[in-house]
Amino acid sequence: MDAFLTSVFTVALAEIGDKTQLLSLFLIARFNKPWSIISGICIATLANHAASAGAGAWLGQFLQSEAGRWIISGSFIAVGLWLLIPDKEDTPTSRWDGYGAFLVSTILFFLAEIGDKTQIATVLLGAHFSLPVIVTLGTTVGMLLANVPVVFLGAALMRHIPFRTARIVAAVVFIATGIYTLWAGSVQ
């Protein structure tokens, strides 16, 4: 449960104010098909984060040493610091509109997650826990927790979320996870 809950919590917090929430808002405004958009988000996140968590678990086997623990811990701390930098809005073009809400949502979400903070966090969580299926499920639930309300509540919700505070809380969680990883390895 630790791997699942940590994955849910860190990704849900990291996603608040992220470009994928802006993408969710864009998609619901463009298509007004919430279930197609949510299905696309789910499929894209499962595919992207499964590959990421799997890569992290694979890399994690090479990072079992003291130096590896420092690399993983330092990476969590670096992602925490990265979260303090707000995302820039990427507005997708309307050239995708003819493909339908589900396909457009799936493709755009998959592409938006490549190199995103949550993808890197998923790699780190996979390396830390070595449980790629659990991490993938947790990060996917976290992604849905952050984006489904935007799909249903749209702009009204986005006006009331304190993005700066959410970014700071997410940063603290990542930094604390990095510090905990260092501390836990030193007491073994």
Supply the pLDDT for residue 16: 80
Which residues have CB under 8 Å from 41's CB, separation 6+? 20, 24, 105, 106, 109, 143, 144, 147, 148, 151
Q: Is the pLDDT assigned to residue 104 strictly greater than 60?
A: yes
Q: Answer for the pair 7, 142: CB distance below 8 angstroms, yes or no.
A: yes
What SS3 state is found at 85?
coil
Q: Answer for the pair 40, 144: CB distance below 8 angstroms, yes or no.
A: no
Per-residue pLDDT, averaged over 44-71, amounts to 84
Q: Is the pLDDT assigned to residue 179 strictly greater than 80?
A: yes
Note the pLDDT tens digit of each residue in 12-25: 988 887 778 878 88
Q: Is the pLDDT assigned to residue 159 strictly greater than 90?
A: no
Q: Quickly state the pLDDT bin for 147 (edges 50, 70, 90).
A: very high
Q: Answer for the pair 37, 133: CB distance below 8 angstroms, yes or no.
A: no
Q: Quickly state the pLDDT bin for 144 (edges 50, 70, 90).
A: very high
Residue indicated by tokens 């299905």: 39
DSSP 124: H
Supply the pLDDT for residue 51: 95
Which residues have CB under 8 Å from 113's CB, separation 6+? 20, 44, 45, 48, 49, 119
Per-residue pLDDT, averaged over 104-130, amounts to 88
CA dihedral of 130, 125, 89, 24, whole degrees rounded to 10: 70
